[in-house]
Amino acid sequence: MHKPSVAELRPVVHPPGVKDRRSGEHWAGRLYMREISLRIDRHLVNTRVTPNQLTYLMTVFGVLAAPALLVPGIAGAVLGVLMVQLYLLLDCVDGEIARWRKQYSLTGVWMDRVGAYLTDAAVLVGFGLRAADLWGSGRIDWLWAFLGTLAALGAILIKAETDLVGVARAQSGKEQVKETASEMRSSGMALARKAAAALNFHRLILGVEASLLIVGLAVVDQIRGDLFFSRLGVAVLAGIAVVQTLLHLVSILASSRLK
């Protein structure tokens, strides 16, 4: 059976707009993962592996980021990044295989969203437990586990706030929201949103960015000989999650997405 080349795959699985989606494509996908996924696609398109099976496997790797981060030292942080990168790779591959085969399903779309929720939460909960020093010789400090869980809750709520716009519109019989509907009706709110987007601080609570941050903090903790920077990181991410959850809620209410 003919194995398609990358050149044959590209126009089909990367149609115009896929890499340019405002909220649907991660920077890592545009930067490198979509090129890696193309090379995986060509080995899978003629197999019995289904897009939904890849989505399920994607979710498993994302969830495994939490136990991976419990491994002490830099090794655990690197293992956490590996799990998240495998999640990201399969997040690209499942949709590309579906486009090539024209094999679409609502189950796959739904499970893709569930996987995104669980991965972000797993990384942040795992980070909190890591900062609590579960395997240390001293007393476990559950404050950090709580803050990691708080950050995870914020990450989930932000995604839910966005997804529930679609639910509300569907239940009201309205068409799905257009990109222009996210523009602020208030000039002050529009300016605040642009400032937040420029800083991109909110992305730190997403699984990919958080896992990379955790590695950096693990390195400086290794040099210092304690968990000071990891604990500081957990506290900062929890603060970002709380603030961003509230700001995102206000931005939705102040836009035309619910009109």
Residue 141, domain member (yes or no): yes
CA 63-65-71 angle, to 5 degrees, is: 135
Residue 125, domain member (yes or no): yes
SS3 255: strand
Q: Are 221 and 227 in contact (CB under 8 A)?
A: yes
Residue 1, domain member (yes or no): no
Is the predicted pLDDT of residue 119 greater than 80, yes or no?
A: yes
Q: Which domain holds residue 171?
A: 6-254
pLDDT of residue 184: 47
Rounded mean pLDDT of the chain? 89
Distances (CA, A) of 158 to 85, 113, 245: 22, 13, 5
Is the predicted pLDDT of residue 23 greater than 70, yes or no?
A: no
Interhelix angle 6-13/34-44, nearest 10 degrees: 110
Is the predicted pLDDT of residue 30 greater than 90, yes or no?
A: no
The tally of domains found in the chain comes to: 1
Mean pLDDT of 106-125: 96
pLDDT of residue 230: 97
Residue 89, domain member (yes or no): yes
- The string of DSSP codes covering 197-254 is HHH-GGGGGSHHHHHHHHHHHHHHHHHHTSSHHHHHHHHHHHHHHHHHHHHHHHHHHH
Residue 236, domain member (yes or no): yes
Kindly indicate the confidence band of residue 24, based on its pLDDT and cuts at 50, 70 and 90: low
Residue 30, domain member (yes or no): yes
SS3 161: helix
Q: pLDDT of 121-160, one tens digit each?
A: 999 999 999 999 988 877 889 999 999 999 999 999 999 9
CB atoms within 10 A of CB 9: 20
Query: What is the CATH classification number for the domain harbouring 110?
Result: 1.20.120.1760
Q: pLDDT of 60-75, one tens digit each?
A: 999 999 999 999 999 9
Residue 259, domain member (yes or no): no
Residue 31, domain member (yes or no): yes
Copy the structure tokens of residue 227. 């968990």
Q: Are 59 and 84 in contact (CB under 8 A)?
A: no
Kindly indicate the confidence band of residue 198, based on its pLDDT and cuts at 50, 70 and 90: very low
Alpha carbons 137 and 117: distance in angstroms, whole number: 33
Kindly indicate the confidence band of residue 197, based on its pLDDT and cuts at 50, 70 and 90: low
Q: pLDDT of 79-92, one tens digit each?
A: 999 999 999 999 99
